[in-house]
Amino acid sequence: MDKLVLVVVAGVTFLIIIALLFSFLLSDLTFSGQIAVIPIKGEIVSSQGSFSFAMTSTNIAEKIKQADSDPLVSAIFLDIDSSGGSVVATKEVVYAVRKAEKPVVAYIGEIGASGGYYIAAASDLIIADEDSLTGSIGVISMSTNIEGLMEKLGVKVKVMKDGEFKDMGSMFRELTIEEEALLQELISEASEKFKLDILEFREDKLSESEFNEVADGRIFSGRKALEYNLIDFTGSRDFAIDKTAELAGIEGEPVLVDYGVVETDLFTALSQMGYSFGTGFISAIKSSNDEFSLQAK
């Protein structure tokens, strides 16, 4: 009786091992050579706006890390259509791209400018449609002054502060010369980091003298960007996919896996909308007095 039990156990164990091996081989044959497609669309921000379900910079960075650690994924494809966004949010994605051990290819469709180009430059290969818009290398910050309008309406604003520059950037008055100098220093510092990173990322493809000629905020077509060595190839999205497969050593037709879906339930979605609306409203009020943001766009 004991021998029968041992035989049965041994038989079941053998079948389980065979099934696991077969499953592994089947998955390897069927799904090896995957390319993770990660969309970077619209403004690059750290948090979602009200009623927006676009991926944030944190979502994108996490997707890059997830794809890089997936044994079935051979390469990462960044599908870019963005004119940039927050400097900090953009850098979060740039850092994730630089840390990836698998090949990363950036494809610029309609537009990949400023922060969008910054992310593309961090990848191993940049491919853009010849009629796309790219470049716009630099940092910008803008403020609104409605002082004249308020005077016409007979509205006065009383500001109480502790600190000479606490209301710097208020929409209710002009910037002073000292404030302009402080803000320009912040903008120049962020822009310098932006430019130095691009030179480092593309050091074997772009000389400093070539780069300095075009790193003045201007925008280029894909054709011109190729002439200035800001990108590596012009071509269609299919061409870019083929180049990604080639770079990753994928033979045959690659399997494209959409990494652009952020899973959430209804309760979380409603909570996010409420939170985004509330924080956006508060931020709008505060920004009229003391907030500036640097934009890579």
Catalytic residues: 114, 166
Interatomic CA distance for residues 249 and 235, integer angstroms: 20
Q: What are the beta bridge partners of residue 81?
A: 41
Q: Kindly give the pairing relationship between strand 295-296 and strand 85-86.
A: antiparallel
CA-closest candidate to residue 57, choices 80, 77, 85 = 85
Interatomic CA distance for residues 30 and 38, integer angstroms: 21
3-state SS class at 270:
helix
User: DSSP letters along 239-258, please?
Assistant: HHHHHHHHHHT--SSPEEEE
Mention every residue, 6+ apart, whose C-beta is less than 8 A from residue 33.
74, 245, 248, 250, 251, 252, 254, 255
Whose structure tokens read 């970077």? 40
Angle 185-191-192 (CA atoms, 0-180°, nearest 5)? 90
Q: Kindly give the pairing relationship between strand 233-234 and strand 255-258.
A: unpaired
Interatomic CA distance for residues 111 and 125, integer angstroms: 16
The angle that helices 87-99 and 57-69 make with each other, rounded to 10 degrees, is 0
Interatomic CA distance for residues 154 and 182, integer angstroms: 31
The angle that helices 87-99 and 177-201 make with each other, rounded to 10 degrees, is 20
